[in-house]
Structure 1
């Protein structure tokens, strides 16, 4: 019945050129083209913005202030807070909570049961909502299963966080991080394979899958797509 209500609301949104529509008495912003798919057990609060073709699966909860792009997948038991921005084509696997002040850019992958935090020093008896730290995950980054991202840091573009790692500092673009606390052991291509490059210095390599050229200058990577 919930899915039917969403489809009916999507048609209503199309008829009104993408204006706010109501599902079970709640106002939800739907895109003008393909409606999101929301499982009957999921909860989407009043005012949440969900892009076209995004899928919200079993027992997920999307709070009213959240903004989610198109073609995303939110797995079972995912929680999305009010002050959260999620880009397009983001995959959030089962049992992940994305708290207030977290931004996930396009094509971020959050592995099963990985953890975000939002306060450095939580105490049950103290309200520290005013102390939430901003966490930014840039385009294409992978956060492996069961890893922990300590709040207040930035994960670079196409960075790769290994399963179970605990990250407590900023991560450079394309960096491969593993361990507790996480340490950089290499560089990853946008295709998702380790690059044959030293951690620091001046070197170049080419991805055999895409032809992209990666140039290392000291401790910074630049990616150069092949010339047409």
Structure 2
């Protein structure tokens, strides 16, 4: 991991054990990033927000976790981001202001800087986008190419633009498999 092109692991606020971070992962504010154990962040991922990642999380190639220094993203245990997911914890309104991170807030439009929270066992499908101030509760799943504009309740699968309810996930089976896996880790 020390061969990363953009930062040194020692710059992170916290990094657990058995962590793999791709050589081309870019973390703009490494001092705002906490990573648990057994985490993989694949190449070409870009992170420009305060970020807390729990244990056993995978972030696939090409994801963007963005929003700036004052936004926050948290990812719960056993959660997964498929390739090219965007977690946009900050966004401009694109209507009446300069939409650039290079200008002070008083020159921007209605900027929304917030938080995105993913509970445990969340999955977000490829090429999906989650907007600011959204919570995906435990077990929430998002189908590929979806736009998440509102919170997703526990153990539900949502998909589409905007994302909407499709069906319930099998909570009991997922948690049963987690228990079996945990029993084999000791």
Query: Shift of residue 64 of structure 1?
Result: 2.2
Q: Normalized against structure 2, the TM-score is what?
A: 0.76
Q: Normalized against structure 1, the TM-score is what?
A: 0.63
Q: Gapped runs of 5+ residues in structure 2? A: 179-186
Structure 2 residue aligned with 1:4: none
2:114–2:133 contact (8 Å) kept in structure 1: yes
Matches for 1:23-62 after TM superposition, within 5 Å = 38=1, 40-45=3-8, 47-48=11-12, 49-62=14-27
Structure 2 residue aligned with 1:75: 42
Matches for 1:143-222 after TM superposition, within 5 Å = 143-190=124-171, 207=173, 210=176
Say how many residue pairs are matched.
160
Q: Deviations over 1:103-132 (max 9, x none)?
A: 111111001001111225252275449841
Greater Cα radius of gyration, structure 1 or 2: 1
Shift in CA distance, 83/210, structure 1 to aligned 2, threshold 3 Å: closer
Matches for 1:108-127 after TM superposition, within 5 Å = 108-117=79-88, 118-121=90-93, 123-124=99-100, 126-127=103-104
Q: Which moved more, 1:80-89 or 1:101-110?
A: 80-89
Query: Shift of residue 43 of structure 1?
Result: 2.6
Greater per-residue helix proportion: 2
How far apart are the structure 2 equivalents of 1:110 and 1:58? 18
Greater relative CO (CA pairs within 8 A, separation 6+): 2
Q: Deviations over 1:120-176 (max 9, x none)?
A: 525227544984111111111001100110111101111110000111001001111
Structure 1 residue aligned with 2:181: none
SS of alignment partner, residue 77 of structure 1: coil
Give RMSD over aligned pairs. 2.6
